[in-house]
């Protein structure tokens, strides 16, 4: 255990109040995440804990206080700042400083990876033709892949974007849903639409879909096609069968980039069927030219509770396996 003292200047009471939060809630949030203790008097702060955690906390506090000049801090902004400045990233800064961060320009502004894993994910998508992003919900796998697809289309690296999902029920049956086949599968593709609308706007997305520049389709519709000069995203790949994911990967043609995303802890397939994503991670792990990015609970960028929920499930599953 070590202690480090830092002084946050200027000693502005308004900025200090913004930085600490109501009843010091922001300080407690940092303490909980980084496992440190923070004491302060005015703008003088003392941070106690393990060496790596103290260094990370001090760097984070300096960064957050600097942002109070123009920004009102919230629990969400503190959480996202901690994603950007994870312990690993701060400790590895000298080793990774030579690597250029990838930024994606969209209508809603610049999109950058939060933390080492997201930054590495973006770099791999730019440099590999087939990419896998595997991890829990809320880690930005699909959102970042859609951002890369839009950037590739706007810079004319590809001619079209193809967004694919398997139409697998999560405890409900398609036959019970109203409408024709297109209307039945639409809810499964909704997260992909949402990411597109967020980055390009509703009207522009609808026009691009009408022109065939953006295609959103169930996985079953991919059989027999060869996809050239396209950016293809297969989302929710944990719900593909072994045959389906093989079929998808062999659709990739010249000038195309494919990104496969999924969470192997949320498989909705019947118990007798093996997840194609789990299978392909073993089959292709040593194939040159294919990249793999594995996200963890600490990479979650949604509400802080989502991160705790993911961690709780991981701990429960480990304990359950140990008992059995």
pLDDT digits (tens, 9 = 90+) for 215-268: 888 888 888 888 899 999 999 999 999 999 999 999 998 889 999 999 988 888
Please say if the pLDDT value at position 193 is more than 50: yes
More confident residue, 322 or 7: 7
Question: Are the C-beta atoms of residues 65 and 71 closer than 8 Å to each other?
Answer: no
- pLDDT score recorded for residue 317: 77
My answer on whether 49 and 82 are in the same domain is: yes
Q: Tell me, what CATH number does 294's domain have?
A: 3.40.50.300
- pLDDT score recorded for residue 95: 39
Average pLDDT of the residues in 291-300: 86
My answer on whether 230 and 314 are in the same domain is: yes
CB atoms within 10 A of CB 274: 12
My answer on whether 76 and 130 are in the same domain is: no
- pLDDT score recorded for residue 127: 87
My answer on whether 127 and 12 are in the same domain is: no
Which DSSP string corresponds to 132-192?
EEE--TTSSHHHHHHHHHHHHHHTTS-SEEEEEE----SSS-GGGS-S-HHHHHHHHHHHH
More confident residue, 195 or 110: 195
My answer on whether 57 and 86 are in the same domain is: yes
My answer on whether 63 and 160 are in the same domain is: no
- The 3-state DSSP class for residue 36 equals strand
Burial of 23 (0-12, 13-18, 19+ CB in 10 A): exposed
My answer on whether 41 and 121 are in the same domain is: no
- pLDDT score recorded for residue 170: 44
User: Strands, E, within the chain: which ranges?
Assistant: 2-7, 36-41, 44-49, 103-106, 109-112, 130-134, 160-165, 214-218, 230-234, 257-262, 290-294
Q: Residue 186's pLDDT band (boundaries 50, 70, 90)?
A: low
Q: Determine which helix (DSSP H) or strand (DSSP E) holds 89, and give its type and residue range.
A: helix 87-91
My answer on whether 135 and 219 are in the same domain is: yes
- pLDDT score recorded for residue 257: 94
Domains of the chain: total: 2
Average pLDDT of the residues in 275-288: 91
My answer on whether 153 and 284 are in the same domain is: yes
Report the distance separating Cα 243 and Cα 102, nearest Å: 34
Please say if the pLDDT value at position 305 is more than 80: no
- pLDDT score recorded for residue 31: 86
Final residue in a domain of this structure, among 46, 64, 91: 91
Question: Are the C-beta atoms of residues 129 and 256 closer than 8 Å to each other?
Answer: yes
Please say if the pLDDT value at position 88 is more than 70: no
Final residue in a domain of this structure, among 40, 60, 91: 91
Domain span holding position 222: 100-323
| pLDDT tens readout for residues 40-86 | 999 999 999 888 888 888 989 999 999 999 899 988 888 778 766 65
Q: What percent of the chain has pLDDT over 90?
A: 34
Q: Residue 182's pLDDT band (boundaries 50, 70, 90)?
A: low
My answer on whether 78 and 107 are in the same domain is: no
Average pLDDT across the chain, whole number = 83
Q: What are 120's two structure tokens?
A: 């590495």
My answer on whether 191 and 123 are in the same domain is: yes
My answer on whether 49 and 142 are in the same domain is: no
Final residue in a domain of this structure, among 47, 68, 91: 91
Half-sphere exposure of residue 117: CA atoms within 13 angstroms, side-chain side: 22
Q: Tell me, what CATH number does 51's domain have?
A: 3.30.1370.10
Question: Are the C-beta atoms of residues 279 and 242 closer than 8 Å to each other?
Answer: yes
């Amino acid at each position: 255990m070590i202690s480090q003292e830092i002084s946050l200047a200027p000693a502005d009471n308004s900025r200090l109040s913004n930085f600490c939060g109501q009843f010091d809630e922001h300080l407690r949030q940092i303490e909980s995440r980084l496992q440190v203790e923070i004491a302060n008097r005015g703008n003088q702060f003392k941070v106690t804990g393990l060496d790596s955690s103290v260094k990370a906390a001090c760097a984070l506090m300096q960064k957050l206080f600097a942002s109070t000049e123009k920004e009102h801090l919230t629990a969400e902004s503190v959480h996202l700042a901690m994603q950007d400045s994870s312990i690993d990233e701060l400790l590895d800064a000298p080793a990774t400083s030579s690597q250029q961060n990838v930024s994606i320009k969209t209508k809603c502004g610049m999109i950058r990876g939060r933390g080492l894993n997201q930054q590495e994910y973006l770099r791999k998508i730019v440099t590999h033709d087939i990419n896998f992003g595997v991890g829990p919900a809320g880690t930005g796998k699909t959102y970042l892949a859609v951002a890369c697809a839009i950037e590739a289309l706007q810079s004319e690296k590809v001619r079209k974007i193809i967004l694919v999902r398997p139409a697998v029920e999560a405890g409900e049956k398609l036959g019970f849903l109203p409408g024709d086949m297109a209307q039945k599968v639409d809810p499964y593709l909704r997260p992909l639409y949402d990411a597109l609308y967020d980055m390009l706007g509703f009207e522009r997305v609808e026009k691009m879909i009408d022109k065939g520049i953006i295609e959103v389709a169930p996985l079953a519709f991919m059989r027999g096609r060869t996809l050239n000069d396209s950016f293809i995203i297969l989302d929710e790949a944990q719900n593909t069968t072994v045959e389906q994911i093989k079929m998808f990967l062999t659709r990739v043609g010249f000038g195309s980039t494919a990104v496969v995303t999924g969470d192997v802890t949320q498989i909705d397939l019947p118990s007798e069927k093996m997840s194609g994503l789990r299978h392909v991670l073993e089959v292709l792990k040593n194939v040159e030219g294919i990249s793999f990015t594995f996200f963890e609970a600490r990479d979650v960028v949604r509400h802080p509770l989502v991160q705790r929920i993911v961690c709780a499930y991981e701990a429960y599953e480990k304990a359950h396996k140990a008992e059995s």
